[in-house]
Amino acid sequence: MSCKALNSYLEPQIIKHYNLKIGDFYFFENFVLIEYAENAHISLLVLKTIMRVSKIFFPNSKPFGLIINKIHSFSTVPSDAFKLENELPNLVATAVVTWDSALSINFDLENHFFKKINRRLFPDIKTAETWIQAEVNAAKI
């Protein structure tokens, strides 16, 4: 089972935390970590509020990353990937953390809908965060 952000080494680095019906959103200096609620259905319409907040933390000129800590099962609308890429052009990388290797099939399917955002699957938050930080720092150059 994946470790929650509030129970991890990242907790002291959290700048802002939003607890919404669809899940918990943690903002850090260079990334957002999301832990979606059990059985949440994630679509671009649902994410509009958090996207507005993301634009405050990460204006269009500041690259940032996204870590999805998959502690619960949830569903997404894969075709919304194109819209997300257009709405947040400075989102440079997404790391998905899961302890369930069977979920890699869903991850591979979702990847077909992303054209600009680099995405990878990780077994733990630490390796995901290390990769996200490197991707964001490379995009700053």
pLDDT at 112 over 50: no
Rounded to an integer, what distance in angstroms lies between the CA atom of residue 63 and that of residue 25?
18
51-103 confidence digits (pLDDT tens): 888 888 998 789 999 999 988 887 777 766 556 767 788 889 999 898 766 55
Please list, residue by residue across 86-108, b when 16 or more beta carbons sit within 10 angstroms of its beta carbon and e when fewer do: ebbeebbbbbbbbeeeeeeebee
pLDDT of residue 100: 66
Lowest pLDDT segment from 94-98, 109-113, 125-129 = 109-113
For residue 65, the model assigns a pLDDT of 94
Nearest to 31 by CA among 46, 43, 42, 15: 15
What percentage of the chain reaches a pLDDT higher than 90?
Answer: 38
Whether the CB-CB separation of 32 and 25 falls below 8 Å is answered with yes
Nearest to 91 by CA among 112, 66, 67, 69: 66
Quick one: fold of 5-140? Transcription Regulator spoIIAA (3.30.750)
Classified as helix, coil or strand, 134 is helix
pLDDT value of position 110: 55
pLDDT at position 54: 87
